[in-house]
Amino acid sequence: MGYSEGIIYLSDLIDMSSVVIEKTAFGTLPSNEAVWCYTLSHPQGGKVSILTFGAALQSWQVDEQTDIVLGYDNLAAYQQNPHYLGVIVGRYANRIAKGQFSLNDIHYQVPQNQGGNCLHGGEQGFSHRNWQAEIIEKDGLPSLALKLTSENGDQGFPGTLKAEVHYSMPAANQLRIEYRAMSDRDTLFNPTSHGYFNLAGHHSGNALAQQVRIAASNVLKIDETGIPLGPLSEVANSVFDLRKPVTLGEIYSSMPEELSGTRGYDHNWCLDAYAPEQAACYAGSLMAPALGTELQVYTDMPGLQLYTANFLDNGLKGKDGADYGAYHGVCLESQLYPDSPNQPAYPSACLAEGNTFYSRTEYRFITTKAAE
């Protein structure tokens, strides 16, 4: 269960029975189906709210004052949610070129919902469904289990897929997300969590004073529609070298040519620590040096998409009347590489009939300096 050889983390030893999960009503869909909000509170700190709609991370209160996740406070906004705030994305996160791929010599066409490509599994993917919730307990750790059945042909993808996402808090201000899925036919599966984080608080304006770090020596360069060109590119001596923290505002102050088409970072890094069948490893961080806080990402996935909310509409209304806009949040999305169904050299997104997909990503909020 630990993360790397022989290390047992304290979080695996603590008695977690005191994590509390509360359920409140969030809204009702036109079908009369109820949408619920589940709040997980860790006794040593941190309160996370998850909606059944989109299995969305709606808020993360790291202390009394600071909610580090952008989100909405009404269901209607989540039913639209064109920027995928907080939701679980599937069946295939990120892009599939022209929405086309072949599997077992059968050609499939899935929605071309962005720039001629399939983005985030189509407009009515996992992000726009109401999941079934159940509170479960494993090894003394209560989790919120969210379940969804995606029928054969849903958004054009083959196979009836039964997916589960489990949210839990193994330690104070740590959020664990586990994905499981099984299909009755060979299919593709590549889920992610699409949280927009701002360590100064979701309503604090842009996050340009914050830093990002990604433990990756290679990145995927993309064409003008966001599709990887193919080979991995070394990050050394480029704006893609995030192995040491960079401040977003410093990079964007005179937008480098490589980032101008995407108005900033919107790329997938190939994580150095990735190896097939390996447990989750450190992938990267968002840091707020002025606040002395950091959000670390651990994952067993091979890729990390960094997207700095470059295209958030200015004036988008968020929770508590907040006005969101470009660069107000930072997404660190663990996933397979984009367009992997058309790139045989990339780790495969194929989920074979009857096999169980399992993956784990953790977000850990930490304080790096004592409060003054």
Please count the residues of this chain forming the interface with ligand BGC, following the rule CB under 6 A. Answer: 11
Classify the phi-psi angles of 122: left when phi > 0, otherwise alpha if psi is within -120 to 50, otherwise beta: left
| E-only strand ranges, 319-355 | 323-324, 331-335, 350-351
Q: Which residue is nearest to ligand BGC (CB)?
A: 307
Q: Is position 339 an interface residue for ligand BGC (rule: CB under 6 A)?
A: no
Q: Is position 90 an interface residue for ligand BGC (rule: CB under 6 A)?
A: no
- Segment near ligand BGC (CB under 6 A); pick from 1-9, 179-187, 303-311, 342-350: 303-311
Question: Is 333 an annotated catalytic residue?
Answer: yes
Q: State which H helix or E strand residue 75 sits in.
A: helix 75-80
Q: Find all residues with CB under 8 Å of 347, minimum gap 6, and list them.
A: 274, 276, 302, 336, 337, 340
Q: State which H helix or E strand residue 80 sits in.
A: helix 75-80
Q: Is position 84 an interface residue for ligand BGC (rule: CB under 6 A)?
A: yes
Question: Is 194 an annotated catalytic residue?
Answer: yes
- Spatial contact of 310 and 264, defined as CB atoms under 8 Å apart: yes
Q: Is position 116 an interface residue for ligand BGC (rule: CB under 6 A)?
A: no
Q: Is position 307 an interface residue for ligand BGC (rule: CB under 6 A)?
A: yes
Q: Which of residues 12-71 bind ligand BGC (CB under 6 A)?
A: none
Q: Which of residues 247-276 bind ligand BGC (CB under 6 A)?
A: 266
Q: Is position 226 an interface residue for ligand BGC (rule: CB under 6 A)?
A: yes
How far apart are the C-alpha atoms of 79 and 127, rounded to whole Å? 9
- Taking the least distance from each CB to ligand BGC, the nearer of 43 and 115 is 115
Q: Is position 99 an interface residue for ligand BGC (rule: CB under 6 A)?
A: no
Q: Helices marked H in 199-338 — which ranges?
A: 248-252, 257-260
- Taking the least distance from each CB to ligand BGC, the nearer of 94 and 187 is 94
Minimum CB separation of residue 124 from ligand BGC in Å reads 14
Of residues 59, 187, 299, 305, which one binds ligand BGC by CB under 6 A? 305
Copy the structure tokens of residue 215: 């433990």
Per the residue annotation, which of 83, 194, 202, 267 is the catalytic one? Answer: 194
Count Cβ atoms below 10 Å from residue 15 Cβ, excluding itself.
8
- Taking the least distance from each CB to ligand BGC, the nearer of 21 and 96 is 96
Contacts of the segment 35-41: beta carbons below 8 A, 24+ positions apart: 35/75, 35/130, 36/133, 38/133, 38/135, 38/144, 38/167, 40/142, 40/144, 40/167, 40/168, 40/169
Write out the catalytic residue numbers.
Answer: 194, 333
Interacting residues toward ligand BGC by CB under 6 A = 83-84, 94, 120, 226, 266, 305, 307, 311, 331, 333
